[in-house]
Homo-oligomer: A and B are copies of this chain.
Amino acid sequence: MDPKALYSLSYGVFMLAVSDGGKVNGCITNTCMQVASSPTRLAISCLNSNLTCEMLKNSGRFTLSILDSTCTFETIKHFGLQSGRTVNKFEDLELPTDAAGIPYLSWATCAVISCHVIQAMDLGSHTMFIAEIDDAFRCSDNPPLTYADYQSRLKPKTGNSAPVQKKIVGWRCKICQYEYKGSELPADFLCPLCGHDASDFEPIYEA
């Protein structure tokens, strides 16, 4: 099996926001699709290690800001490459909110969807949520940002500098700096912080 075959699946890029017990949080995800009509139902998938996922399991409501082609890496970095466990990502932002009080993005967004969860399924690494739509509106005529655009255009280019003959003691995510302990990174590993895959990790050599 060639895991790169899965890279041909097409996705959008979204800012998923939640509010639970007075706290607001959000993350970047690429996994949302419509899975039924009458009523319209969406499926989204969230890394279980993410605070957003934990809060969504409690609150059962979210907004999805569908990012558009004007999105910059700074926006992805702000919401996707740091954890709500250590930073309040919404603290200095004055964002609009939906009827349930959950914020959504006011820039780089072509549409916003407000949903409530009707079912959550734990799939191991991720939880998949099936949700129904409470509100949805368009914000811009810009085309949506696709995950392929993000990979080819937005994500910082990183070089491969590999010192030779030193023992590998861990792997560092080149996108968010998360460190994995151990000499071998599983091929299907996903960064528990930012969700990028094994190809975005670089070795950490012994001192």
Contacts and interface: CB of A to CB of B under 8 A. Distances in A.
A9 B37 contact: no
A34 B12 contact: no
A203 interface: no
Contacts of A10: 10-12, 144, 146-147
Interface in A31-88: 31-41, 43, 45, 66, 68
B186 A38 contact: yes
Interface residues of A, number: 55
A112 interface: yes
B3 A126 contact: no
Given A45-B43, A137-B1, A146-B146, A113 B6 contact: yes
Interface string A6-24: 1111111000000000000
20 contacts: A1-B133, A2-B138, A3-B136, A5-B111, A5-B112, A8-B111, A9-B32, A9-B33, A9-B144, A31-B34, A34-B45, A35-B43, A35-B123, A37-B188, A37-B197, A38-B124, A39-B188, A41-B124, A121-B121, A146-B146
